[in-house]
Structure 1
Amino acid sequence: MFRKILVAVDGSEMSEKALEAGLHLAKEQKADVTLVHVERNITIPVGLEGTTVDNIYESIQKEGENLLNNMKVKAEAEGIQAQTVYLQGDPAVQIVQLAEKENHQLIVIGSRGLGNIKEMMLGSVSHKISQLSHCPVLIVK
């Protein structure tokens, strides 16, 4: 039924559970897996332009890529080869666009992640993805 599964990860406990669920389904369905991490665009205060900003962006990207590599190692430990994708922007929009562009048949995401204001935005990314997605979305609790 599902031949291409997209699993969104952000390092939260819920994304770990989403990874487990996605890998379980991938094994069961003999599906290809893509792991995606989307870094929100950050606003740099005036006066911090230049090298400092470049260092901040570089550090954030390296952290995201390390997260993806760690998740890929977990997938490989389960016998699943996973592709990784690092993106920047609105997480929900980027994830839905990637799923559509690469013809994923299922998106797996945690019910909440590491948002800045967790209490006010619980599940906002997963909810938005469920509204925008062209394919089924599995929201893991």
Structure 2
Amino acid sequence: MLNKILVAIDESDMNSKVLEATLSIANNEKSNVTLVNVSKENVTTGLTYVPEDYLEDVLNELEKSSIRILEKAKNKLISAGGMSIKTIHLKGDPSHQILEYAKEHEQELIIIGSRGLSGMKELMLGSVSHKVAQLSKCSVLIVH
């Protein structure tokens, strides 16, 4: 039985399927689910000048958005009951942060959507899910 499960979520359409998969796997009181949302640190890529005060506001809004995403997902899982749930907001490269967290906290399974917010519509895996699947030391469930 898998008891330590890391669930990577974002605001994509794939999110509801990821949570459904989580509910089907983590449906007992021994399951410890960690919901993680990662916001990229470098939001200024391609911008020539961003006033420092404005950048701070943007980063604060990204963090607030991440917390809303996590709380919404947590509430959906809580309503189903039967598991321990915590939420984590990380900053940086999503695949790296997910892999590092899973390794440091000895997760047994990572559940992730096949595509996130990158806008990729082809049948390929998204870059984050692909990298996580290739480099993870634990099992990975990629939800399509």
Describe the SS at the equivalent of 1:103.
Answer: coil
The farther-off stretch of 87-96 and 13-22 is 13-22
Gaps of 5+ in 1: none
- CA offsets, 1:5-57, max 9 Å, x none? 00000021212211110122010583110000011221262331211111111
Letter in 1 for 2:110: I
**Inter-partner Cα distance in structure 1 for 2:40 and 2:16:** 19
The farther-off stretch of 47-56 and 24-33 is 24-33
**Is contact 1:23–1:75 with CA below 8 Å preserved after alignment?**
yes
Aligned counterpart, 1:43: 44
Matched, 1:125 2:128: yes
Aligned counterpart, 2:87: 84
Please identify runs of 4+ aligned residues in structure 1 that moved more than 4 A: 119-122
Q: How many residues align?
A: 140
Alignment TM-score, normalising by the size of structure 2: 0.89
Alignment TM-score, normalising by the size of structure 1: 0.91
**Is contact 1:4–1:33 with CA below 8 Å preserved after alignment?**
yes
C-alpha change, 1:38 and 1:123, in structure 2 (3 Å) is same
**Inter-partner Cα distance in structure 1 for 2:49 and 2:141:** 42
Alignment of 1:55-134 (within 5 A): 55-79=57-81, 80-115=83-118, 117-119=119-121, 122-134=125-137
- CA offsets, 1:49-98, max 9 Å, x none? 21111111101110011100111111110113310000111111100110
Query: What RMSD over aligned residues (CA atoms) do the two structures have, in Å?
Result: 1.8
Matched, 1:135 2:138: yes
**Is contact 2:7–2:111 with CA below 8 Å preserved after alignment?**
yes
Letter in 1 for 2:23: L
Gaps of 5+ in 2: none
**Inter-partner Cα distance in structure 2 for 1:15 and 1:133:** 20
| Greater fraction helix | 1
